[in-house]
């Protein structure tokens, strides 16, 4: 598996591979993405094959900024305001497509909307600048698994499907972008993520609507078992059993677990988000019967962390086959 340090030469090579219709894994500030030219349906189909992902899931299109995004989607005042405040960064906006939008139907799953985001990671930005194409990129994991936050995670998930895995080190944020839909009457939160809900609501001056799980606009990322390790999770743990692995948070950690990973001894939610998926992978491999998870404060990034943990705890494997992203 070609894991390549993200040097300028490697970035240029990745851009050429993308332009030729190949798929490339690359770091973003949230998680590693598996990218393809969003204008080329034959390239995009390779993403679905590599992820073993159901075809009907729409993908996020990565662009350098609002100017490029506006060539594909209709920006209203709210969209511009959010893009100005949060781009480049971990916010994906779902907008109405422009008439004649050239993005492959497979990217938008045939919807008349499109999810767009301008990533902040220097490697992602360098690829976009070099390739000058919109890049569709879901998280670079097999469908239904936790998102990769290092190049090695990608390699372990996707075998040799990508032409290249650009290694830009561990992702700084570690949790996927927040997805907000601006298609309805009120901006709606489709997925909690690395841009805290409160920051968005403060800018808008009102609360976000929350999409109902069964509504047609709900993000497939909302599906209950989306982020799932194989080991069962036990949430809200204040004690631990010797057969259990422990996902700890803060200073007062119960002793006696088979293996403990502390997301943040100092109780820092940003640090915890960045470590979350890697910690779940490590604990999943420990052979423990259960992963006990200490309570994590449900504010700021804690809201998205708890969302991912609740989904990971929905351990109904029969539903994982229909998992999405
Ligand atoms: O942080 C991220 O967003 C990462 C990095 C690589 O950018 N990408 C990511 O993509 O998490 P993915 O495909 O795993 O998640 C895409 C999310 C899904 O929840 C999907 O349902 C939603 O975006 N989405 C995409 N297009 C949509 C649309 N037109 N309407 C509603 N939801 C949409
Ligand atoms: Mg995903």
Give the range among 11-15, 225-229, 272-276, 321-325 with minimum mean pLDDT. 321-325
What beta strand segments (E) does the chain contain? 3-5, 24-27, 32-37, 60-62, 91-96, 113-117, 135-136, 164-167, 178-181, 188-191, 209-210, 232-234, 244-248, 259-262, 290-293
How confident is the model at residue 57, as a pLDDT? 81
Mean pLDDT of 197-212: 93
- CATH architecture group of domain 3-210: Alpha-Beta Complex (3.90)
Instruction: At 88, give phi and psi (nearest 5°).
Output: -70, 140
175 CA: nearest ligand 1 atom: 1
How far apart CA 268 and CA 274 sit, in angstroms, is: 10
257, 240 contact by CB (below 8 A): yes
User: Ligand 1 centroid to 206 CA: how many Å?
Assistant: 24
Mean pLDDT of 101-113: 90
Q: What is the mean pLDDT of residues 312-324?
A: 50
Q: Residue 259 forms beta bridges with which residues?
A: 245
Q: Is the pLDDT of residue 323 over 80?
A: no
pLDDT band at 218 (very low <50, low <70, confident <90, very high): low
C-alpha 37 – ligand 2 centre gap (Å)? 18
* Cα(220) to centroid(ligand 2), Å: 9
pLDDT score for 324: 42
Q: For residue 90, give the ligand 1 atom closest to its CA.
A: 1
Ligand with smallest separation from the Cα of 217: 1
Q: Which ligand is nearest to the CA of 47?
A: 1
Pocket of ligand 1 (CB under 6 A): 28, 30-31, 33, 57-60, 90, 92, 94, 108, 111, 113-115, 117, 119, 137-139, 176-177, 179, 190-191, 217, 219-221, 325
What is the position in ligand 1's atom list of the atom closest to the CA of 176?
A: 1
Q: What is the pLDDT of residue 1?
A: 55
Domain positions in the chain are: 3-210, 232-319
Question: What rounded mean pLDDT belongs to the chain?
Answer: 91
Q: Minimum-distance ligand to the CA of 147? A: 2
Instruction: Give 222-241 pLDDT, tens digit per residue.
Output: 544 456 788 999 999 999 99
Ligand nearest to the CA of residue 137, numbered in listed order? 1
User: How does pLDDT run across 136-195, given as a tens digit for each residue?
Assistant: 999 999 988 899 999 999 999 998 889 999 999 999 999 999 999 999 989 999 999 999
How far apart are the CA of 177 and the centre of ligand 2, in A? 10
DSSP sequence for 203-240: HHTSPPEE--TTSTTS-GGGSTTSS--SSEEETT-SS-
Is-same-fold flag (3-210; 232-319)? no
Residue 84 scores a pLDDT above 80: yes
DSSP-derived letter for residue 90 is: S
Which protein residue has the closest C-alpha to ligand 1 atom 6?
A: 33
* The pLDDT of residue 106: 86
- Rank 122-126, 160-164, 299-303 by mean pLDDT and report only the highest: 122-126
Q: Is the pLDDT of residue 285 over 70?
A: yes
Q: Give the range among 11-20, 78-87, 121-130, 144-153 with minimum mean pLDDT.
A: 144-153
Give me the pLDDT at residue 143, please.
Answer: 86
| Predicted confidence (pLDDT) per residue in 21-65, tens digit | 999 999 999 999 999 999 998 999 899 889 887 666 899 999 999
User: Do residues 166 and 77 make contact, with C-beta atoms less than 8 angstroms apart?
Assistant: no
Q: How confident is the model at residue 261 (pLDDT cuts 50, 70, 90)?
A: very high
Which residue has its alpha carbon closest to ligand 1 atom 3?
A: 177
Give domain 232-319's CATH number out of 3.40.50.11030, 3.40.640.10, 1.20.930.40, 3.20.20.70.
Answer: 3.40.50.11030
High-pLDDT (> 90) share of the chain, %? 78
Q: Counting atoms of ligand 1 from 1, which one is nearest the CA of 115?
A: 26
Ligand 1 probe mutation, 29, 48, 53, 59, most atoms within 8 A of CB: 59
CA of 239 relative to ligand 1 center, distance in Å: 36
User: What is the Å distance from ligand 2's center to 247 Cα?
Assistant: 22
Question: DSSP 3-state assignment of 274?
Answer: helix
């Amino acid at each position: 598996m070609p894991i390549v340090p993200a040097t300028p030469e490697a970035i240029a090579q990745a851009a050429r591979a993308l332009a030729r219709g190949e798929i490339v894994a690359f770091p973003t500030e949230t998680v590693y993405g598996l990218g393809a030219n969003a204008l080329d349906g034959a390239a995009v189909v390779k993403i679905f094959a590599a992820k073993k992902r159901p075809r009907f899931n729409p993908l996020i299109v990565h662009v350098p900024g609002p100017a490029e995004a506006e060539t594909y989607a209709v920006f209203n005042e709210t969209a511009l305001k959010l893009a100005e405040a949060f781009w480049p960064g971990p916010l994906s906006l779902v907008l109405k497509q422009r008439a004649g939008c050239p993005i492959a139907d497979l990217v938008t799953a045939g919807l008349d909307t499109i999810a767009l985001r301008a990533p902040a990671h220097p490697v992602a930005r360098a690829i976009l600048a070099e390739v000058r194409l919109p890049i569709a990129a879901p998280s670079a994991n097999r469908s239904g698994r936790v998102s990769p936050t290092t190049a090695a995670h990608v390699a372990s998930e996707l075998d040799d499907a990508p032409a290249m895995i650009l290694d830009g080190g561990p992702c700084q944020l570690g949790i996927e972008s927040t997805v907000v839909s601006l298609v309805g009457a009120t901006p709606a939160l489709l997925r909690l993520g690395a841009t805290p809900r409160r920051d968005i609501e403060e800018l808008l001056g009102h609360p976000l609507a929350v999409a109902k799980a069964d509504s047609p606009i709900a993000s497939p990322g909302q599906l209950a078992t989306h982020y799932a390790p194989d080991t069962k999770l036990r949430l809200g743990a204040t004690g631990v059993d010797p057969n259990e692995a422990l996902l700890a948070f803060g200073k007062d950690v119960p002793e006696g677990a088979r293996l403990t990973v502390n997301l943040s001894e100092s109780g820092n939610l940003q640090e915890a988000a960045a470590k979350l998926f890697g910690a779940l992978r490590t604990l999943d491999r420990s052979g423990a019967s259960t992963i006990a998870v200490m309570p994590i404060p449900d504010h700021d990034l804690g809201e998205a962390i708890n969302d991912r943990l609740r989904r990971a705890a929905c351990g109904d494997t029969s539903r994982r086959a229909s998992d999405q992203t």
